[in-house]
Each structure stands twice: as structure tokens, then as C-alpha cells.
Amino acid sequence: MAKLSVNINKIATLRNSRGGDVPNVVQFAKDVQRFGAEGVTIHPRPDERHIRYQDAFDLKPEVYTEYNIEGNPIPKFIDMVLEIKPTQVTLVPDAEDAITSNAGWNTVKHKDFLIEVIKEFKNNGIRTSIFVDPDLHQIEGAKETGTDRIELYTEAYAHQYSLGNKEAIKPYMACAGLANALQLGINAGHDLSLDNIKFFKENITGLLEVSIGHALIAESLYIGVENVIEMYLDKLK
């Protein structure tokens, strides 16, 4: 069974839109864990437009499942992760002005940089994951960096699946097969939803974890957070 990590960025976005502390991101993280989520994911960005760096510290004592911090490893981000020591750090090459993550790492071009950053995190007991496109060359490159896991960027799959194109799973299946052969752990995320997660899970051998935020929060508006988490857990069995 793949683990469900709930990305709570959207809760911070809602809080920030009004000011104050409603909804409270720490309480929400505690609640999703109580409802069965097996991890909490945050993705602080330099402008702190949703999750703030202080949120990352405030969440640390309250996340008793797996704590996953995503982000571009700029110096401020690296320092924060090394101080908090979450369960996992997921490296994402997002530009500062990106609305959301929109590409994986070029693990060949940025190999030396990734080796250096990953070594620092692993020396501090933090599991590492690299956000990558479903490309075999990038999986091979990821192996060379020393990362523990990869996170498959699933936007292309989700979009094509919504159009009825189930063939879109094939590049992900091939990448999963290679990752398994290279003994890389497999995570996945971006635009996964109740509609497409079951088919993805059934076809990706060795899937360890999915991080889901936008869709899960949107679905919760209609069905309720506790119900939605239970539905994801059932589809991930």
C-alpha cells in the first residue's frame, strides 16, 4: 500500500487570503493525521505566499507521521531543512515566480549540484527525493546523485487520463521499472486525484508514497476532509 501524504499548502493560501490564523495549518495537519493520512507535505516558497518558513518550524513537533518538506534548495531552504530535520526533503527546481511546480530536474545537467546538496541532507539523517519528469535518462541521472527516492511528476498523466487516454501511464510504468531496477524508491505527485489515483497505483510497481494537495482540498469542499482521506486510502491499497 502506498502512503498518502497530504500537502497542506492550500490551507495556508486560504489563511493568508484573509489574514489572521484561520484556518490554522498546524491544527489541519493534526486533523489529517487523525483522519488517517500517513504524512504531511509542505512546499514553502521564497515569497512565502502560502506556507511560511515559520509554519515549517511550528509543524515539526505536531507531525508524528512522515514530514515531507518540498522546495528549491536555495540557501535559506537548505538551512531550514537542516534545522528541522524532517523525515524527507523533496528537491523541486521551481522558479520563484512559478504558480506551482511545472518541471522536474535535469538530473544530468545539475548532477554535481544535486550530489552536493543530497549528501548534506543524508549526512543529517534526512531521506532525499528528487522531483523528476517521466524520462528514463532523468531516472538514470537521479541514481547518480545518490538520492534515496524520486518523485514522478504526474501532471502529464493526470491531464491525459482526464481526456480518456490511459496510454499516458506507459512512460511512468517504464520509469518505475527502471527505478526499481536501480533500487530507487518511488514517490509521485501533482494533479493526482480521486479520479485518477487508483489506476496510477495499480500500474506503478513499487509506489511508496503520493503527496496530494490541490485536488484533495478541492474534493474536501464537497465531501469533507475525513471522508476524502478515507477514500484515498482505500484507492491506494
CA distances from 34 to 27, 55, 64, 182, 220 (A): 10, 19, 10, 35, 15
Please identify which of the residues 38, 43, 209, 219 carries the catalytic annotation. Answer: 43
| Closest residue by Cα to residue 91 from 107, 83, 99 | 107
Q: How far apart are the first and last CA of the chain?
A: 5
| 153 phi and psi angles, rounded to 5 deg | -80, 110
Burial zone of 51 (CB within 10 Å; 0-12 exposed, 13-18 middle, 19+ buried): buried
8-state DSSP, 43: -
Cβ pair 87, 66 in contact under 8 A: yes
| CA 46 to the chain's CA centroid | 17
Say how many CA atoms lie within 13 Å of 35 toward its Cβ: 22
In this structure, what DSSP letter does residue 236 have?
A: T
> What residues contact 181, with CB distance under 8 A and at least 6 apart?
none
Is 137 an annotated catalytic residue?
no
- Catalytic: 96? no
List the catalytic residue out of 38, 190, 209, 219: 190
CA dihedral 141, 122, 204, 38 (to 10 degrees): -160
Q: Is 43 a catalytic residue?
A: yes
Catalytic machinery residues: 43, 70, 190
